[in-house]
Amino acid sequence: MNTPKKGRAPYFLLSFIPAVAYWLLETYTTLEIALIGGIVLGIIEMILEKYFTGYVHTLSKVNISLIVILGVISLLAKEGVWFRLQPTFTGVGVAGFLIYKKIQGHSLMLDMIKDMGQIPPLPEATYKLMEWHLTLFLLGFAAFMAKIAIYESTGTWIFWKTGGFYIAFGGFMAVEMIYLRFVLRRKKL
C-alpha cells in the first residue's frame, strides 16, 4: 500500500518549490542559473514525491518532463518564456486528454470512481457535463497562462502558477457547484 511515511511533512507544499526557486534565482542571478535551478529542483521534487508518497503520479512525471524539456529549450534560446510556458502545456495536455475521453464516450471521473469500486453518487450525464466545463476552464486558464508567460513579469507568473491557480479553480468550482445544483433540480440530469 502506498501511504505517506509517518512523521514526515505533507508533500502538497513541495509543488511550489521549483517555480518559487526559479523566480528567486531569476530575480537575483542570471537566467541560466535560474533555469538550471528550476530543472534540478523539478527533478528533486519528483524524488521527494517518491519519498513522501511512495510513488510518483503520472501527472508529476509529465510536468517534470515538461520542465526539463522547456528548461533546455529556454537555455538554448536564452529566453525564460519557454520555461514559464509549462503550465500552458500542462493545461492543454490535460484538457486534450479529457476531450479524448469525451470522444470515446467515457468520463474520467466515472472511470476513476468505478475503478475504486464505488457507486457514482450522481447521474452519469452530470460527470460528463462537469468534465466538459473543466476542459473549458483548463483551456481558458492555459491561454491565460500563455499570455502571462509572454507579456508579464516572472513575479506575476509565479502568482498565477501557484496560488492564483487555486484561487481561480476554487472560483470555478464554486460556480460549477451552484450551476450543477440548479441544473440537477431543474432538468434532473
Q: Which domain holds residue 81?
A: 11-187
Structurally, how many domains does the chain consist of? 1
The reply to whether 129 falls in a domain is yes
Burial track 108-132 (b if 16+ CB lie within 10 A, e otherwise): bbbeebeeeeeeeeeeeebbbbbbe
The reply to whether 1 falls in a domain is no
Whether this model's pTM surpasses 0.85 = no
The reply to whether 6 falls in a domain is no
The reply to whether 68 falls in a domain is yes
DSSP 8-state assignment for residue 119: P
Cα separation, 54 vs 34, whole angstroms: 29
CA distances from 166 to 111, 131, 163, 172 (A): 25, 18, 5, 10
Q: What string of pLDDT tens digits covers the 189 residues of the chain? A: 444 444 444 455 556 777 888 889 999 999 899 989 888 988 888 888 888 888 888 878 888 888 889 989 999 999 889 999 999 999 999 999 999 999 998 888 888 888 888 888 888 888 899 999 999 999 999 999 999 999 999 999 999 998 999 999 999 999 999 999 988 888 765
The reply to whether 58 falls in a domain is yes
The reply to whether 137 falls in a domain is yes
The reply to whether 3 falls in a domain is no
CB atoms within 10 A of CB 34: 23
